[in-house]
Amino acid sequence: MINDPISDMLTRVRNALAARHAKVDVPASRLKNEIARILKEEGYILNYKLVEDGARKSIRLYLKYTPGNQPVISRIERVSRPGCRVYVGSKEVPRVLGGMGVNILTTPRGVMTGAAARKEGVGGEVLCQLW
């Protein structure tokens, strides 16, 4: 049993990037689908799609690499964990590497990047950060 499905998704992506895989499958959920959408919009993955294998649904992430075969995502880490949730207000949304990276937040207006949360003036739970 997995206690933290988001952390599991990030670890699968991290391991697939280290092994230079072209794609990785993660068990599907609405939150993971929104995280995949943000990763695609921000240019960290090529694409994603929902794959149904019988009763199981999973999200297939197509990973992105530079022409030198280096992963586009150099680091991806979980911020808020089940044992220690990290919430921020609209004024305290952190910047990742001075704006070079992205953090993903769950807010009352949905899942969004830290920059979008600052722009809309909402805070929430910081799920993860990547660069």
Kind and range of the H or E element at 43?
A: none
Q: For the chain, percent helix, then strand, then coil, each to nearest 5?
A: 25, 35, 35
The position carrying tokens 């909402």 is 122
Rg (CA), the chain: 15
**What domains are defined for the chain?**
5-130 (3.30.1370.30)
Question: What would the pLDDT profile of 69-83 be if each residue is shown by its tens digit?
Answer: 999 999 999 999 999
In this structure, the strands spanning 56-63 and 102-107 are unpaired
Residue 16 tokens, joined: 């697939």
The rounded distance, in Å, linking the Cα atoms of 22 and 48 is 12
State mean pLDDT over 49-63. Answer: 95
Measure CA 93 to chain center.
16
- What one-character DSSP code corresponds to residue 81? B
Q: Find the length of the chain.
A: 131
Confidence grade of residue 54 (pLDDT, cut at 50, 70, 90): confident
- The pTM of the full predicted model, rounded to 2 decimals, is 0.93
